Structure 1
């Protein structure tokens, strides 16, 4: 494949070839996050609290063991959590209408998919899958059929956007539902035929491909299968894009630092960008996280010196995508406040296509992976969130008002206000030492601000919400290894967080601690046999947190590393105490979900172990606690997003993002043609179901 950059695409200066991080190509790193891992870490703080003593001890142990935290750190006496049983913890808030369990996916017995590099969506034996919707498919009335050679901004705003990520499904009746999907970023190399579009046309169309889609779907001909309804004619269908108006709500709305030339009130924003994960609320809306928004802003004539520190902490350096040539709001010298209007959790009401989506300032501003709601013992809405950056933090929000589950119009109107007032917290984790044979300990949720009072010295409420990272730095929370999806298990009430990886852990200002223990790991390629050394936490963890008193509103919790991901044969990997010879290798957990039995489902991004990414099922209780089994793999070059197990436990939705995003690939010379309906790859949403 060629790596020549067409003259009409000057913004696409390709990085060198070869994998950059695990299975991620340089193209993925460039287009998805602006090469974030190649930039200086935005968090340069060196927090000093009790966990530092544990960090020193762990560090000494790793040095004595040749730079690797070995299996003995996890397997002393073969300990398994007695608290791992679902019966040991009070249930959290159940999903509306969720059955009690015993569904097809939760209890299915199957042989896991073997690691592979196929250009195919591959399921375990006994399962099948269908493609539900592809990039460019019609979404709203008047949308044309997709033609890669005739793309326009107008058609793009009516079609399914590029690079699907979060997937939500909201029931309309027994047979129909609304599918809600994020569109995270674009890869112009794979989207556009060479020489058919000008550079500015490419930019405008790429901008319009961001956002979200709402699509009506209905059950298909086999149990668990789904298809689109009406091919873009359903009244609920909606496409949110760069020209969609969003309302800023909450305490920071209207702040002077949110005002721009086009919005002198600081309350209305056009578009949402780099939307990663999300969550469906108990009141029937969808939350979506704006993640790597920093990469879209150009330096222009220079950065505003008033925000030097703030820009740096968010990775805003002016090395944008060149969008300012078609929209001046992406020029930092002209609109220095525009980036402050991104990095929020947005809320969309899929049932009302005329409603104005909102950006919630009360939930803080950072690189949101997503937000997921649990209901506390007294009825408060609790949102769990992760800031997806090396060395950044875990957050939660507790609403001031209580959730009203009456199901009436008045109750829903009240619930739509829950995320505008309350308390925002950041997490500090303290280890208890590894003498117990586990990486575990206790934690505290440190209050940052309410809607009326800041708890951070020298910072107002608006300061804390606009610059949440700097506010958190002052409270010395625990710097985690890329906290991504954070979600409460509706069956056992525990909270699970995907900590994807951090190759820099153990170096510079990121010393190891008990919650982030691996400074050096052994990585075995599953396809190519050689064992190689790799610094840092290359394969990631899954953190398990138990709220104090089994109440999500509690400011205390206990925690353990439920999974230390990697090759089961590697000494440092840990699978909740389960026999490591009977699990699937897993690397780089990204998103999590649950079935009605309470099993954890994990999708991966950037597998270091030599296989395509995929989706895994993991029991969290009972004798099979920690038994990681791979249910499916995505095509080569792709990332597995979602996942979502439906409330009837029959369907697994997976968003296949950036298939064929491999260095050197172009529209004319693709590395993948999945889903094999065209001569080029198309990111798509897939549904998996039992075939027998």
Structure 2
């Protein structure tokens, strides 16, 4: 049997309920089992999946605690770029702590394109070094800022099926904490951003999303520490930024109408009236889910000029109890704060008097969107990191990673369905699709995407310091999971990949033909205290044991 033959995606989906032996049989063309499920080639297949007579499956791989990227037989991975690698002719280098990825095809190609990669943070142990006397030097600060932001990689699949980095691509470049960004929308030049219309750099870039017009949105999440370390104003960060991977002349911008908070992922679609609708997650504990609806409507012929849709509209937060979207307005915030019978939510760290000083005008609602949402009755949940629009009309999947302070150690995945299947609606229903932990077969769901059938691909992000211990011990290292037929009684949770020691996968995405997946491997060796004794050596250079975060291509899927 040829175990190296690529495994068909159709065979993979049909494999559900049949065990690893069937997967290997599918890769070789041998039909060892009869009566296996057939995956239909339409989105509805996901929500009415028929399984065979077997009711349990061992998954594709078993949990692993080895210091390697583990995949099922028949699949392989190639490192496209790791921290410090040169990415273009100019000599720019790949940043640190890579996170979200997004493939932008060149002329519709599935084998030639640009890969957008976020860089979420820079670890002093590996990057800039510890501060001296509590302060970073100018050189250290420059290195801190340079290694955040994003990398744009030219990549292609060779004739032998191997993905490679093209350092000669005219599009390869870095966007960093040193670049200039324009503020757009209601908080531009506002008092709460110190009266400026232009700010320095983008920091703490966690996740993102692609616009309807083909540009890239990326959310600033872990921005508090690096902005403080660099001596930069806090309110200049925590925004959704926009760039065009194909056009270095496209003005970099931060859209304040989308609100300032610890942005997770960003998902854009259309309402039934043609408005641009943007869903957003917040990576903080006790955080809310957001939706923005543009005032204007999307016009295909306008191309990237549609970016103006993100400058004027209404920002909402989800009240999960009343199942409604709450508009964030200054009048409503002030009415609540001036009501002496109103009790501040416990998770707000400001006093009533401090909040009345913060909230003076509508711009302040966007700058302090998290506080405004809680004041107006939006429901805080346990780190709603990722929002993903489903092929099922009007449906949104949401990962809630975990919150130990709530006793929610393993997180959950929920599904929000808009009224009348309209993404522009202001009412919705919500249900839990999967609870993390032993019954859900995974812990701490983080990044999430859907394939063309609507199956979910979910990464996990257990705390590095607690992996392989206590309540997390049985799950071993973080992984990448396929949840097949997610809202059906025949749902299956299958582990597809295991990450190296201390690491986590982040931001998976497919090439258009879904024959290749790209995914970031974050913070291998995160528990290292002494550089000379790292807890991982994954992606280290020859002759070195220093681990490096990297982005990889996974191949082995075929039709």
TM-score, structure 2 normalization: 0.79
Shift of 1:193: 8.6
Please report how far the alpha carbon of residue 622 of structure 1 lies from its aligned counterpart in structure 2 after TM superposition.
7.2
Provide closer, same or farther for how the CA distance between residues 556 and 89 of structure 1 changes in structure 2, counting only shifts above 3 A.
farther
The 1-side partners of 2:207 and 2:105 are apart by 20
Other-structure match for 2:212: 282
Could you tell me which residue of structure 2 aligns to residue 253 of structure 1? Answer: 188
1:161 to 75, 79, 95: 95
Matches within 5 A, 1:68-467: 87=44, 111-143=59-91, 158-173=92-107, 174=109, 175-191=111-127, 200=137, 201-223=139-161, 225-229=162-166, 231=167, 233-259=168-194, 266-298=196-228, 321=229, 323=230, 329-330=231-232, 338-405=233-300, 408=301, 411-430=302-321, 443-449=323-329, 455-457=332-334, 459=359, 460-467=361-368
CA gap 1:87/1:595 in 2 versus in 1, 3 angstroms: closer
Aligned-partner Cα distance in 2 for 1:210–1:553: 34
Deviations 1:12-59 (A, max 9, x none): xxxxxxxxxxxxxxxxxxxxxxxxxxxxxxxxxxxxxxxxxxxxxxxx
Query: Unpaired runs of 5+ in structure 1?
Result: 1-84, 91-108, 144-157, 260-264, 299-320, 324-328, 331-337, 431-441, 506-535, 569-574, 576-584
- Aligned equivalents of 2:479 and 2:254: distance in 1? 31
Question: What does residue 81 of structure 1 align with?
Answer: none
Q: Measured at CA, do residues 635 and 228 of structure 1 come closer, stay the same or move farther in structure 2, by a change above 3 Å?
A: same
Residue 426 of structure 1 and its aligned partner are, at CA, apart by: 0.5
Output one character per residue of 1:161-192: Cα deviation in whole Å (capped at 9) or x when no partner. 00100101111122421111111111121347
Secondary structure of the structure 1 residue equivalent to 2:328: strand
- Conserved in 1, the CA contact under 8 Å of 2:413 and 2:445? yes
The equivalent of 2:396 in structure 1 is 495
Q: Give the drift of 1:141.
A: 2.7
Shift of 1:671: 1.7
Answer yes or no: is the 8 Å Cα contact 2:99–2:522 preserved in 1.
Answer: yes
For the residues of structure 1 that align with 2:445 and 2:384, how far apart are their CA atoms? 10
Shift of the 253–88 alpha-carbon distance from structure 1 to 2, 3 Å rule, reads farther
**In the alignment, is the contact (CA less than 8 A) between 1:492 and 1:598 conserved in 2?**
no
Q: Work out the CA distance in 2 between the residues paired with 1:616 and 1:622.
A: 16
CA shift, 1:491, in A, is 4.4
1:691, 1:558 → 2: CA distance?
35
Structure 1 distance, partners of 2:382, 2:400, is: 5
Distance 1:414 1:242, change over 3 A: closer
Tell me the matched-pair count.
468
Q: Secondary structure of 1:412's partner?
A: helix
| 1:86 and 1:621 in contact (8 A); partners too | no
Distance 2:223 2:239 in 1: 10
Is the 2:77–2:553 contact (alpha carbons within 8 Å) kept by the matching residues of 1? yes
Match of 1:672 in 2: 536
8 A contact 1:89–1:493 mirrored in 2: no
> How far has the Cα of 1:88 moved from its partner?
11
CA shift at 1:248, angstroms? 0.4
Distance 1:550 1:428 in 2: 18
Task: Give RMSD over aligned pairs.
Answer: 2.6
Structure 1 position 403, deviation (Å): 1.7
2:380 to 471, 476, 479: 479
Partner Cα separation in structure 2 for residue 88 and residue 645 of structure 1: 20
- Taking the aligned partners of 1:552 and 1:193, their CA distance within structure 2 comes to 46
Question: CA 1:89–1:612 in structure 2 vs 1: closer, same or farther (change >3 Å)?
Answer: closer
Distance 1:185 1:593 in 2: 23
Structure 1 CA distance, aligned partners of 2:130 and 2:280?
Answer: 40
Q: Secondary structure at 1:414's aligned position in 2? A: helix
Q: CA offset at residue 390 of structure 1?
A: 1.5
Pair 1:297–1:235, CA change in 2 (3 A): closer
Give the Å deviation of 1:242: 2.1
- The answer on whether the counterparts of 2:87 and 2:165 sit within 8 Å (CA) in structure 1 is no
What is the SS of the residue equivalent to 1:664? Answer: coil
CA distance in 2, matches of 1:163, 1:113: 26
Q: Tell whether the 8 Å contact from 2:46 to 2:453 is kept in structure 1 after alignment.
A: no
- Give CA-to-partner distance per residue, 1:208-258, whole Å, 9 cap, x none: 2111111111122355x42212x2x22112211122111100111011222
Structure 2: how far apart are the matches of 1:252 and 1:239?
A: 26
User: Aligned match of 2:547 in 656, 662, 681?
Assistant: 681
Indicate the structure whose relative CO is greater, using CA pairs within 8 Å and at least 6 residues apart: 1
Matches within 5 A, 1:518-667: 536-568=407-439, 575=440, 585-606=441-462, 608-609=472-473, 610-620=475-485, 625-666=490-531
Alignment check: 8 A CA contact 1:167 1:180 kept: yes
* 185-194 vs 356-365, greater mean Cα deviation: 185-194
Q: Distance in 1 between matches of 2:375 and 2:489?
A: 41
Query: 2:282 and 2:557 mapped to 1: Cα distance?
Result: 38
Partners in 2 of 1:485 and 1:282 — Cα distance? Answer: 19
Report the CA distance between 1:663 and its aligned residue. Answer: 3.8
Change (3 A) 1:661 1:456: same
What CA distance in whole angstroms lies between the structure 1 residues aligned with 2:104 and 2:490? 30
CA distance in 1: counterparts of 2:422 and 2:214, whole angstroms: 22
Distance in 2, Cα, partners of 1:290 & 1:620? 32
Distance 1:688 1:222 in 2: 14
CA distance in 2, matches of 1:594, 1:687: 17
Following superposition, the deviation at residue 631 of structure 1 comes to: 0.8
Question: How many angstroms does 1:295 deviate by?
Answer: 2.0
Q: Is the 8 A contact 1:140 1:239 kept in 2?
A: no
Say which SS state the counterpart of residue 552 (structure 2) adopts: strand
User: Which structure 2 segments of 5+ residues have no match?
Assistant: 1-41, 48-56, 336-358
TM-score, length of structure 1 as denominator length: 0.64
